[in-house]
Structure 1
Amino acid sequence: MPALSAAQRRVLLSHPAGWLASGFGAGLSPLAPGTVGSAVALLPYLWMRTLPLPLYLAIVVAVFLAGVAASAVVVRRLRVEDPGFVVVDEFVGQWLALALAPAGWPWMLAGFLLFRLFDVWKPWPVSWADRHVHGGLGVMLDDALAGVMAGIVVAAGALLLA
């Protein structure tokens, strides 16, 4: 997607949903906003990983639901389906990719790279969700599925190397 015009930026940032959807501005990066959003998502992950798994997953679900609502507002206001500057979906996907990862930067890097791979490559069912589910749920669902797939690979790798 081309860069936001000044008018689009005003529309996006004039509503709290725009701030949430853009990852509090991370999605406004002129280069690779999805990758920037995934990297920024690692900052709250450093705190979240210390939480019990049920609380961690409750936060992920809450952000997913808030992301569906925020993304729906942005899609409706800008009339752009799945805009690239919406990166709250990358936050959720990244957190799902790392939900069962062991501690340590190699696992964070593996989860980051695998999530980006599945998010860009879009294997089934990610590709199905990307094509057939629209609106706020569509924005969020394909990245959540990519995150789950990356998380399965990370968890399997951790089990194999244990």
Structure 2
Amino acid sequence: MSFNKTILTDPIHFLAFGFGSGLLPKAPGTWGTLIAIPIWLLLSQLSLEYYLLATALLSVLGIWICGASSEKLGVHDHGGIVWDEICGFLVAMIAIPVTWYWLLLGFILFRFFDIMKPWPIKILDKKVKGGFGIMIDDIIAGALAAVILQLALYFLN
């Protein structure tokens, strides 16, 4: 069985690879973040409490999904595993208005922090292993983006 077929037919890999978006040849993290947009649009219709609960549940589930997929592949944090980007973007977009410009700013900020990996993200990315290690750097990248978005909302509104 080919690698792509394995990813698309195994439910754990399918989720970890962002419904197959992590299989795209260039910039899988960016594709994974794009896949997060319709999920965010759906969850943004919930109250803040339910949005936070859904994001937390998806993130905790992500620790298991990413860890299991990584273990099955025998590769720590395979580049195609993008469930962490999905959850990180959901963190970035907590309580953000549903408009194209806030969406674009959130996307850019999250991708910036995820790619650049400023302190403490870089340290966590290198030192923490397993599913938690795969998830934590993106969750913190999302949190840093969220802080900037919330400050922008505060000062611009």
TM-score of the pair, normalised by structure 2: 0.94
Alignment of 1:1-162 (within 5 A): 7-162=2-157
What is the letter of the counterpart of residue 78 of structure 1? L
CA deviation map 1:80-115 (0-9, x unaligned): 111111111011011111112223111110000000
Separation in 1, partners of 2:6, 2:68: 11
Shift of 1:72: 1.1
Which residue identity is paired with 2:150?
A
Percent identity over the alignment?
A: 37
Q: Which amino acid aligns with 1:46?
A: L
The one-letter amino acid paired with 1:159 is: Y
Cα distance in 2 between the residues matched to 1:55 and 1:153: 22
Amino acid at match of 2:149: V
CA contact (8 A) 2:41 2:98 kept: no
* CA offsets 1:116-139 (integer angstroms, 9 cap, x no match): 000000011111210111111111
- Native 8 Å contact 1:12 1:74 kept in 2: no
State the TM-score, normalized to the length of structure 1: 0.92
CA distance in 1: counterparts of 2:119 and 2:156, whole angstroms: 27
Aligned residue pairs total 157
Contact 2:8 2:19 in 1 (8 A): no
Per-residue Cα deviation, 1:13-68 (whole angstroms, up to 9, x for no partner): 44211111011111111121100110110011111111111110111111111111
Runs in 1 of length 4+ with deviation above 4 angstroms? Answer: none
